[in-house]
Structure 1
Amino acid sequence: MSSPLLRAPQPSDADAWFDFLVAQQAKAYAGIVPEDFATGQDRKYRDAWVPELAAAFASPGTARRVVAELNGGIVGIASILDGPQDWEIAAGLVPSPAGRELERLYLDPSQHGTGLARAMFNVVDEGEDLYLWLIDGNERAHRFYKRLGFADVDEQHAAGNDWGGVGMHRMARLS
């Protein structure tokens, strides 16, 4: 069995990154978010996000991203960005507990338990203080992030309408 290739995303990966992200979010949050979550995300955000992703991949600035590729397809994505994000500021969720956010870490379920998530995290992580948002009820991810040294922050927020208003909270890894 071959191992996934870990590499920086290229502008040409933007479509596949978006498709992978939406599909994995729908799988990870099945039974938590609305059943039409994936089609709603695709319909609502694809036209704006894909060009933005391509531009971000071409000029990453301080963002750190990795793609895990196996047999020509994406099986994992991860990204760390400067925080807080615009939506957090608009919602009054500032200051953030750290200056950097683990924004994405998604794996195809076929890769669960292989060590790929930790390997991807290790590629993007430079040991700085980090925070993330976790959808309540995603216990597999919660256990994983705790193993990485993240702790729950006593802060709740309802996700947007696209997400069905489900609860979420921040976790942080602080030195």
Structure 2
Amino acid sequence: MILRPPTSADAPAWFDFLVSQQAIAYTGIVPDDFADRQGGQRDDFLAELEGKFAEPGTARRIVAEVDGAIVGLASIVDGPASWEVALGYVPSPAPRELARLYVSPTFHGTGLADELLAEIDRGEDLYLWLIDGNERAHRFYQRRGFVDCDEAFRAGPDWGNVSMHRMRRVAA
């Protein structure tokens, strides 16, 4: 297994892996056509991802790959995101957001999620948005010191208007 920062050339594989893993993680929570809805936005997201990977700024991203295929990914970015600001979810509960952490089910229980997180986490205060009903992820983050915040949000129609809430971890 190789852990490395993504490059611009990884944008298509990153997007495809992310959407497929979200569809798996949120089965029964998001609409059945979730992956198709997200896939319809692929071209728009690819250009954005290519730019972000080429010029990461303060963001930290990592991919895990086996035989050239992504099997896990993670990212920490500055918060709040523009959509959070636009909707009034400010100030954010921490200056940095754990925006992505997905691992192929083949690697669940192997420690890969912890390894990915360790590669990008600098021990600072973090927050994340958790899709309600994703109990596996909820337990994972609780074991790593994240606590539930009172803020709740309903995602848009592409996500089936699912409920989500923030979690926060205060650095030790």
Indicate yes or no: 2:83 matched with 1:82: no
- From 138, 141, 146, the equivalent of 2:137 is 141
Instruction: Please report the TM-score for the alignment, with normalisation by the length of structure 1.
Output: 0.96
Indicate yes or no: 2:1 matched with 1:12: no
* Partner in structure 2 of residue 124 of structure 1: 120
Indicate yes or no: 2:54 matched with 1:58: yes
* Partner in structure 2 of residue 110 of structure 1: 106
Indicate yes or no: 2:28 matched with 1:31: yes
* Partner in structure 1 of residue 39 of structure 2: 42
Distance 1:57 1:156 in 2: 30
CA shift for structure 1 position 21: 0.4
CA shift for structure 1 position 124: 0.7
| 1:79 alignment partner, SS class | strand
CA shift for structure 1 position 121: 0.1
Distance 2:80 2:14 in 1: 22
Gaps of 5+ in 1: none
CA shift for structure 1 position 7: 0.4
Distance 1:92 1:25 in 2: 25
Indicate yes or no: 2:155 matched with 1:159: yes
When the two chains are superposed, the root-mean-square deviation of aligned CA atoms in Å is 0.7
Give the paired residue count.
171
Distance 1:83 1:68 in 2: 24
CA shift for structure 1 position 155: 1.2
CA shift for structure 1 position 27: 0.3
Runs of 4+ in 1 over 3 A off after TM superposition: none
* Partner in structure 1 of residue 66 of structure 2: 70
CA shift for structure 1 position 47: 1.1
| 2:19 alignment partner, SS class | helix
Distance 2:32 2:87 in 1: 25
Paired amino acid for 1:164: G
| 1:152 alignment partner, SS class | strand
Measured against aligned partners, the alpha-carbon deviations of 1:44-97 in whole angstroms (never above 9, x if no partner) come to: x21111011111111100000000001110000100000000111111111110
Gaps of 5+ in 2: none
